[in-house]
Amino acid sequence: MSVNQQTHTGPPYGQPQPGYQGYQQPAYGGQPLPGVPHAQYGAYNGPVPGYQQPVPPQGYFPSLGFPSKGSPVSLNSDTSLAPNFIGSVRAPSTSGTSLSSGHLGYSPFGQGDVQNGIPASTAPMQRPPTSQPFLPGSAPVPVSQTSTFQQYGPPPASVQQLSNHMAGMTIGSTSTSAPPPAGLGYGPPTSVPPVSGSFSATGSGLYTPYTASQGPPPPSVSQGLPLAQPPFSGQPVSTQRLPTQVPGFAPPPSSTGIGPSSYPPTTGAPRPPTMPGPPLPGQTAAGPPTSQPNHVSSPPPPPSTLSGPHPGPPMSGLHGPPPPTHPPQPGYQMQQNGSFGQVRGPQPNYGGAYPGTPNYGSQPGPPPPPKRLDPDSIPSPQLNELPPQQKPRHRIDPDAIPSPIQVIEDDRSNRGSEPFVTGVRGQVPPLVTTNFLVKDQGNASPRYIRCTSYNIPCTSDMAKQSQVPLAAVIKPLATLPPDETLPYLVDHGESGPVRCNRCKAYMCPFMQFIEGGRRFQCCFCSCVTEVPPHYFQHLDHTGKRVDFYDRPELSLGSYEFLATVDYCKNNKFPSPPAFIFMIDVSYNAVKSGLVRLICEELKSLLDYLPREGNMEESAIRVGFVTYNKVLHFYNVKSSLAQPQMMVVSDVADMFVPLLDGFLVNVNESRTVIVSLLDQIPEMFADTRETETVFGPVIQAGLEALKAAECAGKLFIFHTSLPIAEAPGKLKNRDDKKLINTDKEKTLFQPQTSFYNNLAKDCVAQGCCVDLFLFPNQYLDVATLGIVTYQTGGSIYKYAYFQLETDQDRFLNDLRRDVQKEVGFDAVMRVRTSTGIRATDFFGAFYMSNTTDVEMAGLDCDKTITVEFKHDDKLSEDSGALLQCALLYTSCAGQRRLRIHNLSLNCCTQLADLYRNCETDTLINFLAKYAYRGVLNSPVKTVRDALINQCAQILACYRKNCASPSSAGQLILPECMKLLPVYLNCVLKSDVLQPGPEVTTDDRAYIRQLVTSMDVAETNVFFYPRLLPLTKADVDSDSLPAAIRNSEERLSKGDIYLLENGLNIFVWVGVNVQQGLIQNLFGVSSFSQISSTLNTLPVLENPFSKKVRSIVDMLQVQRSRYMKLIIVKQEDKLEMLFKHFLVEDKSLTGGASYVDFLCHMHKEIRQLLS
């Protein structure tokens, strides 16, 4: 993360948003708050009362409570949370020392490697270079308020106790507003009065926004939050108080719609500034403004242009409710090594933190008479004696914890401009979200292989200690951008590729030539092999062969060899592959218009079958089958005037009734094929057959390929559970009652072994199955998908398929699926240098032994993930090598070997391991590992194991690599600071934590999809991309800057786009200007926008063109065509949309990012103690 990157200091607090002046927000009692900008949403009190609340998510501890929003914590380099963030129990500070201006005296932390979280400014920190011990009294600690500070015990009862309980250990949820009502997520909802997004009008009269000339409060140097700095002029402030929180009564929203300054001030006297010389009104803060996690641009704009009330940067220009916890909260001061600094007292004009109470499960008492409460002046013996500077505050600011958006932007700006040259061993590539050019100079491009770590431990003990999985995500046939060179094809003639005699590794840049070039020593097993005479070449003075640069296999990381006949089945060269289209013609398929649609599309699509670069036409032959309870084969031989149909009704013993004329060349048989495709919809137009078979359909395709002695692919279009009498017949076994029981795993397992055996036969023949499903009810994807999954095929699912809404998506998917590059009859083996070996594999494939990954088909989108384990010591000098060799048949029938090589560093210091990890790849691996785990273990066990492993990874770093500092800090490695937020997304995914509307089929489908996703796909799938469309520059080609996935980042005056690789949502706020609605949807008001639109209307205006071009650009980047869904704010579809705002608490009981971070911190502390 760039330490020097600057961003805006916060906007003037409390100023109404430009364009939305004057919206009044009703307060608790219904009276508008004076001068407060309208809240974007009513406070989110968790699910609306009346929704059935899920039981406590396993793996969270009700005692942790995750109550209200927490305080700004700055996470940086070794991102850390304040000492009493989940703090240690300390005696109340009674010394009353107030901090002198400018003295950053309270840094209990050592220096970290790099800034993280919000990079602090480059101004040198004014603090002693060594880490200072924490001295009680050198800074305020949360003071026990009338009770002792409760650490992790049972939840305390009284308000005061609860506020401490919270002060000490929890950070609040990032959900849009109010801290969750009592016991949210742990029992049925208590009756919570709806919070309208603001405080009760009593006592909230004082509202002192900055004037534009005053500018935003300056950020304190070394602190990433422009929050904890007192305003410039000491306006006298009256001591007003807000109503107290009572157990069970929803606390006021942390800041929905209220500029922070609308919190009543907390003490009667202005406070002395804590930083050296705060800027005078109109001046900017001294020193570069600190970088905020969510913003990209550098110099702060003039205060008057900042958008609206939220503190913090203008979130890529997002208007919206202020990020909730921002009322400047307990300023955990940013420290040099990224720890959250000590708690500071509340600042004048900023509300203190709200000590809301979680009330675990008990029924709420009656709301108390509104007593005015200054959150910081809860009566307590010592509290009022403390100097103002020292009163505790307890909230975490979502902007102070690591932001995925910031990390992505920093990587783009730091690494997007230079080409990534692969010549150096163990280089960590740019992130998958960065556009960069790769220059192959001896290691495979990260587009082919990405690793969880590029510096692996030398010993297995060290690997076990760190718990960082060592894995590579390999995408052997990945598509390259046009400006990168495809792998060269090397032909060594009859003798074939040069290989090591012992381990059979292929010639590569790491082989060492010796004895003047007559022999070479294998870099994998150290065996010495004679160089074949035809391959001999002299060495230069450095020991390199003189033809080094002329031979791809000596100078590049990726290349292909032409395979000889020894690499072919039965020692004969393969025939070109075949495609067989198998169409369900049962009643549902015909009635929905699907059969006609497929037949129409195939007429033109057959011209686009894949072909080798320079070939005139594709070598692939095609065949056609239709089926319901019986199968119909078609003879489309070119010499026929009309196609002939042959029916096989004995589905128990499947055979192919014709050999000649079933698989044909498209151009030769075109007229017969077109005639057939015209006739099929008519032939079955009046069918009454509702039952289907499925097993015999695959058997028929397999038999046809066997008879033709070729590999190929079946495209099966299927609509319903196969209940007709036939092999592979299934029953409906869907049972929601199994969720969260030990039997839940059976929902992911096939209900019969028939399909596993069939898959094995398909792989042996090179018969790959792609499945297009159109279910209107349960279809058992877990069973039907087995053959697809084990043959390396793809599944596409269109539930409740309707022609007008799903046609585009289905046709786009079909076109891409038919046209994409695919290898047949593939076998992949990963070799490693001595010391590590491949032990585990994840993906869509079949394995008959422990080393070879077999796939009937492997396309350009599929990845195979490989885990490595130590079987010996590695050395730092020689590093570690991987070689992935893929043997496959190209679409022209040519047998080839594609080789990818990668060299990694090895380390004896854990710090080197943690400095060279790649979180996106790590999450990809952990998700696949967990998704496989649900086949054999209860989901709760899988979730707990994931949390535990990540806690161990971070605890090991904390213990062995971070500077010594207070146990109350959460310190994260720079390159893993997003591990908690991404891990939380995996835990909340539909497979591991399904909501009530997620079907069993959806879960099985997602589980299979994710298993072969690449790193870029899992990245956007788990943490979707959210773009403010109203901020898009209509004159440029670029996308608007993304914002974080949280409801509090949305403004009702804007339109946003969210994409996750499967869906695109366009969310429209209720207050969007009429002109924008007219320009985008062609209707005059919000109420006229149709939620059923599945494409944006084509309108001739710059905004419409820009948004459509953004949608098209995103569609091109993804391997599947995403479904477009229009979501109007407060519409029923909004629940679905909110499911993807992954930083918020989910309705299924998933924690918000802030809460989960606390939870991880607690887990880490338990491991460390």
Whole-number mean pLDDT of the chain? 77
pLDDT at 497: 96
Query: What letter represents residue 372's amino acid?
Result: R
Q: Is 921:450 a contact under the CB 8 Å cutoff?
A: yes
Give the integer Cα–Cα distance in Å for 617 and 635.
22
* 478, pLDDT greater than 70: yes
> How sure is the predictor about 580, in pLDDT bands with cuts at 50, 70 and 90?
very high
pLDDT at residue 591 greater than cutoff 70: yes
pLDDT of residue 315: 40
- CA torsion sign, 539 to 543 to 547 to 553? positive
Reported as a pLDDT band with limits 50, 70 and 90, residue 200 is very low
What integer pLDDT is reported at residue 1049 of this predicted model?
Answer: 95
DSSP state of 759: H
Spatial contact of 829 and 840, defined as CB atoms under 8 Å apart: no
| Residue of 1166 and 304 predicted with greater confidence | 1166
- The backbone torsions φ and ψ at residue 1036, rounded to the nearest 5 degrees and listed phi first, read -115, 170
pLDDT in tens, 997-1052: 899 999 999 999 999 999 999 999 999 999 999 999 999 989 999 999 999 999 99
Least confident of 281-290, 636-645, 947-956, 975-984: 281-290
Structure tokens at 1076: 């924008």
Q: How many Å apart are CA 500 and CA 1133, to the nearest integer?
A: 60
- Per the CB < 8 A criterion, the answer to whether 620 and 612 are in contact is no
Spatial separation of the C-alpha atoms in residues 846 and 620, rounded to whole Å: 24
Task: Give the model's pLDDT for residue 994.
Answer: 87
Cβ–Cβ contacts within 10 Å for residue 629, how many? Answer: 18
In 945-982, which positions are buried (b, 16+ CB within 10 angstroms) versus exposed (e)?
Answer: bbbebbbbbbbbbbeebbbebbebbbbbbbbbbbbbbb
DSSP 679-737: HHHHHTTT--------HHHHHHHHHHHHHHT--EEEEEEE-S---SSSTT-------GG
Kindly provide the residue ranges of all beta strands, DSSP E only, lying in 1119-1159, ordered along the sequence: 1123-1128
Give the residue, 27 or 1121, on which the prediction is more confident.
1121
Q: Which residue did the predictor score with more confidence, 110 or 794?
A: 794
- Look at residue 1113 in the predicted model and tell me its pLDDT: 95
Distance CA 337, CA 82 (A): 12
If we measure between CA atoms, which residue out of 1042, 1071, 1127 comes closest to residue 318? 1042
pLDDT at 1078: 96
- pLDDT of 303: 39
Q: Does residue 1065 have a pLDDT over 50?
A: yes
Q: Give Cα 653 distance to the centre of its chain.
A: 46
Which amino acid, 1066? V
**Number of C-beta neighbours around residue 908 at 10 A:** 14
Amino acid 615: pLDDT: 86
Asked if 626 and 632 touch (Cβ cutoff 8 Å), the reply is yes
Report residue 397's pLDDT band, with 50, 70 and 90 as the boundaries: confident
Contact 426, 913 (CB under 8 A): no
Which single residue is written with the structure tokens 């788990």? 1022
Query: Would you say residue 98 has pLDDT above 70?
Result: no
Query: What pLDDT score does 967 carry?
Result: 77
Contacts of 224 (CB under 8 A, 6+ apart): 74, 76, 117, 118, 119, 120, 290, 291, 292, 293, 334, 399, 400
What does the pLDDT read at residue 613? 79
Phi, psi of 1111 (to 5 degrees): -60, -45
Q: Does residue 108 surpass a pLDDT of 50?
A: no
Residue 223: what pLDDT?
Answer: 35
For residue 495, how many other CB atoms are within 10 A of its CB? Answer: 11
Counting residues of the chain whose pLDDT is more than 70, the rounded percentage is: 66
In contact, 499 and 568? CB cutoff 8 Å: no
Could you read off the pLDDT of 323-373 as tens digits, one per residue? Answer: 443 433 333 333 334 344 333 444 433 333 343 333 333 344 444 433 332
Instruction: Give the C-alpha separation, 1132 to 1155, whole Å.
Output: 27
Q: Tell me the C-alpha distance between 239 and 1107, whole Å.
A: 49
pLDDT of 64 strictly over 50: no
pLDDT, tens digit, 9 for 90 and up, residues 218-261: 433 333 333 333 334 444 444 444 444 433 444 444 433 333 33
Question: Is pLDDT at 210 greater than 60 in this prediction?
Answer: no
| pTM for the predicted model, two decimal places | 0.71
What's the pLDDT at 1147? 86
Higher-pLDDT residue of 454, 1036: 454
Residue at 558: amino acid letter = S
| Tally of CB atoms within 10 A around 792 | 31
Q: Which tokens hold the place of 135?
A: 């001295």
Tokens of 930: 């967990």
396 pLDDT band, cuts 50/70/90, is confident
Residue 248: the pLDDT is 41
As a whole number of angstroms, the longest Cα–Cα distance in the chain is 102
C-alpha to C-alpha distance for 244 and 1099, rounded to whole angstroms: 53
Q: Report whether pLDDT(586) > 50.
A: yes
Start-end of H helices in 507-592: 552-555, 587-591
pLDDT at 987: 97
| Confidence at residue 408, expressed as pLDDT on a 0 to 100 scale | 97
Per residue in 1035-1046, pLDDT (tens digit) is 998 999 999 999
Q: Dump pLDDT digits (tens) for 861-906.
A: 999 999 999 999 999 999 999 999 999 999 999 999 999 999 999 9
